[in-house]
């Protein structure tokens, strides 16, 4: 039996609203040589039921880093694609990603992001982020956890995501990946991202936290405490110990 080309790994926690849209966008892709693994952190809604309905394999999860690592352990693909449950793939996303990764012999990558919003401020903020990650890819790489593509062999080589970090574990991950392989921001593929965190926490607050986070990483080091009171970590704390057992 030939090895799968791609394993899509989605950490979840109560994503019954958005997950069906993402999974439908995956089903609509022309590229079909993939499996989908949902690493669920004890959802109390219909997340697991929806995942199984779409043919996904469901495994235990936890905080995002834990869920991604647990999904990767079960993955059979040559490449791993880490997504969040509230993103949507653009048309031909998977084909574009795999083609560019193989054609340019890239080991790890991310891509440009497009906000699912009608507000100009959201497009401006995301274009700033796109420009920043494009410029820094050569010396201080960044990649949002909702879209990271990597060879499984490289994921295993760097030991996966650092589960002790409270914030920016995705940027730490690709920084270590670049030390061992070739990292790039892909040119053609784009991914649509939810702005629900901006809506819930406020655009100024979220932007300020990300800037402070970046300064902390540059001057102090990676973030292994909840110094920035980031809600995502709190969101998973209640189920963290349960899924580790």
Question: Which has the closest alpha carbon to 63: 114, 131, 13?
Answer: 13
pLDDT under 70: residue ranges of the chain: 1-2, 227-245
Domain residues of the chain, as ranges? 6-244
Please say whether the structural domain 6-244 has been given the CATH code 3.90.550.10.
yes
- Residues in contact with 206: Cβ distance below 8 Å, sequence separation at least 6, in sequence order: 197, 198
Question: Quick one: pLDDT at residue 229?
Answer: 59
d(C-alpha 209, C-alpha 199), whole Å: 15
DSSP state of 168: -
> 51 and 23 in contact (C-beta within 8 Å)?
yes
What pLDDT score was predicted for residue 209? 86
Q: Is 66 helix (H, G, I), strand (E, B) or coil?
A: helix
pTM of the model: 0.89
Q: What is the pLDDT of residue 95?
A: 97
Half-sphere exposure of 202 (CA within 13 A, CB side): 4
Average pLDDT of the chain, as a whole number: 90
Give the pLDDT of residue 7: 98
């Amino acid at each position: 039996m030939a090895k799968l080309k791609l394993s899509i790994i989605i950490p979840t926690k109560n994503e019954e609203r958005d997950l069906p849209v993402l999974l439908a966008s995956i089903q609509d892709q022309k590229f079909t040589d993939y499996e989908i693994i949902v690493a669920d952190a004890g959802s109390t809604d219909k997340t697991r039921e929806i995942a199984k309905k779409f043919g996904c394999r469901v495994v235990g999860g936890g905080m995002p880093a834990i869920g991604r690592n647990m999904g990767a352990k079960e993955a059979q693909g040559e490449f791993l694609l880490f997504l969040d449950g509230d993103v949507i793939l653009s048309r031909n996303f998977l084909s574009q990603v795999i083609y560019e990764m193989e054609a340019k012999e890239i080991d790890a990558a991310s891509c440009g992001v497009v906000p699912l919003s009608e507000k100009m401020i959201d497009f401006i903020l995301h274009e700033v982020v796109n420009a920043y990650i494009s410029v820094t890819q050569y010396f201080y790489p960044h990649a949002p956890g909702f879209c990271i593509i990597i060879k499984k062999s490289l994921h295993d080589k760097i030991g996966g995501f650092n589960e002790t970090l409270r914030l920016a574990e995705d940027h730490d991950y690709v920084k270590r990946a670049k030390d061992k392989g070739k990292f790039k921001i892909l040119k053609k593929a784009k991914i649509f991202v939810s702005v629900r965190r901006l809506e819930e926490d406020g655009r100024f607050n979220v932007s300020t936290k990300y800037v402070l986070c970046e300064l902390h990483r540059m001057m102090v080091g990676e973030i292994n405490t909840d110094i920035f009171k980031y809600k995502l970590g709190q969101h998973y704390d209640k189920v963290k110990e349960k899924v580790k057992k």
